[in-house]
Amino acid sequence: MNRDQLITAMQQTAIEKPRKVEVPVWGAVYVRALTVAEVEAQTDDTTDKKDKNRLARAAARVLCDEAGKRLFDPDNAGDVQLLASQPWKLLRQVLSDPDDEAGN
């Protein structure tokens, strides 16, 4: 594969469609894949051990509409608090990776 072919392939993967997740009580929600930049932002969140909202911000980064547009802002205190107040068993379904065989 040459450089131009690799760039074309990368441009295609950058537009990955969100996956549909059925969550009890909420119904169907959509979850988008994180970009490398978002993973780095999430890593920055984890450097402060006193921060109790890392998982809520992670959910804000991935919850989206069917077109992939974020529904929540990970920098908005109200959005983060709403997500942080949700039952773990529901939010875990949003944050889990379907490719993770262990289901963590």
HEC-encoded secondary structure of 23-34: ECCCEEEEECCC
Report the pLDDT averaged over residues 58-79. Answer: 94
Specify the pTM: 0.76
The larger pLDDT score, comparing residue 10 to residue 49, is at: 10
Rounded to a whole number of angstroms, the CA Rg of the chain reads 15
What's the rounded Cα separation, in Å, for the pair 78 and 6?
A: 40
According to DSSP, residue 17 is labeled P
Predicted confidence at residue 103, as pLDDT, reads 43
Q: Domains of the chain by range and CATH?
A: 17-95 (3.30.2220.20)
CA dihedral over 75, 35, 58, 83, signed as positive or negative: positive
What's the rounded Cα separation, in Å, for the pair 95 and 104?
A: 9
